[in-house]
Structure 1
Amino acid sequence: MKSSFFGQTDCMIKFINALVLATALLFSPPLPAASSCINEPHPSDTEIKTICLTFDDGPTDSTTPKILDILRKENIPATFFVIGRQISSRKEILQRTFDDGHAIGIHTYSHEYKQIYASTSALLGDIRRCQKSIREVLPEWNSDLYRFPGGEAGLSDTLISAVKNAGFRICSWNASIEDAVSPNASAEDLYNNAVRSAGEKNHVVLLLHDGVGYRETIRALPKIIEYFRSKGYTFQSL
């Protein structure tokens, strides 16, 4: 009887351990998607507020250096998604972006939508060409950050899957100052767009541009930084 009792007890302990493990797995939070730059915060992190300033369409002579000046003054890291064909004549600007500690991601080589999205091979070819242009200036650069020109909304699953399968992390945004779609907007308009689109999000990825002609973006940036700081956000790169 004694042997039988201990045998039953051992089985019961194993059953309870298995039940506890199964329960833990059932209620554990899901792992974040490896292919996205925007992840929902873990429940324990809901009080931590972060913002990533992201700039598309540089480097340019007229805008990028002024953006970098502001970021350096404010001691803020950001992320720049660059256009490959603009790099060869602006190597020093790309080098400064990297040296200042900002993240650099791939945007496109040509920014010609019809060419880029003609096929999977055309898209991946454009990405690789941009990647090569960056590495010619920054041999030590190594990043999997990628942002679709125009964003991934409306693109086929085939194109999106091809980018993910090639090892790139697709970086969208969840707030925008709308400087690219509102060319006549004032700095105040752009600031208001940032505040409105960010809303009450704890984790903000804000879309801005450092292409040619974005004077109002430069003017709006200090006020945007001031606002998010006043709301307790921490600035970080992707």
Structure 2
Amino acid sequence: METIAVWFSCGAASAVAAKLTVEKYGETHNILIVNNPIKEEDPDNIRFKNDVEKWIGQEIIEATNKDYPNASIVEIFEKRKYMSGIAGAPCTMLLKKEARYQFELTHEIDWHVLGFTVDETHRHERFIKGERANTIPVLIDAGYTKTMCFDALIMAGIKLPAMYDNYENANCPGCVKATSPTYWNTVRVVHPEVFEDRAEQSDRLGVKLVRYKGKRISLKDLPKNAKGGKIQTYECGIFCDSY
């Protein structure tokens, strides 16, 4: 029996992808629903994961990088003396990609499923070209958009992760790949302690995370009323940027 690994990110799309995969392939394949936990994610992501487990009728297992057992992005930034730049972010590479690579060494996986929706066909194509061709685009094949994934969860009685109340996805608050003043001032209001932590660490490491008026500046120098750019368009998953 072939094995399908569904990579669940605590986001709406990957939750629906897991549901569709279990429904379509559950009787003919061994299905693994796998999550890469991140210490700094919003605590409500855990509640959402538990709700999704009940919905799909299957346990969601965890895959972590053995070199970073705490799965902490702050710890990685500190050890690497690097947060984000033109080559991406180390948290994605080490806690998502590398964790998947290590998981694949101990689990024979025939097929991968990710939360790519019809809106993200280009990301699916990029993934199969640069990462794994043995990927089943369950959401794309079923014609699901991101909005349709939200609707499916709401109809199932599952509350979306709290992060969606203010952001476009369920990433860690204070995502270091974001450069938008609008995004960072949203973090300042919604997650003030995270904003202060990122500002302190980025200044200490010499990193300028926000782009304001065409220049990279320190978060501490960002005016509180500054706007510009979208709230957030970056996804954090095993297909994200390396560094």
Confirm or deny a common fold (TM above 0.5): no
Higher Cα Rg, which structure: 1
When normalised by structure 1's length, the TM-score is: 0.31
Q: Which has the higher contact order (CA 8 A, sep 6+)?
A: 1
* Bigger strand fraction: 1
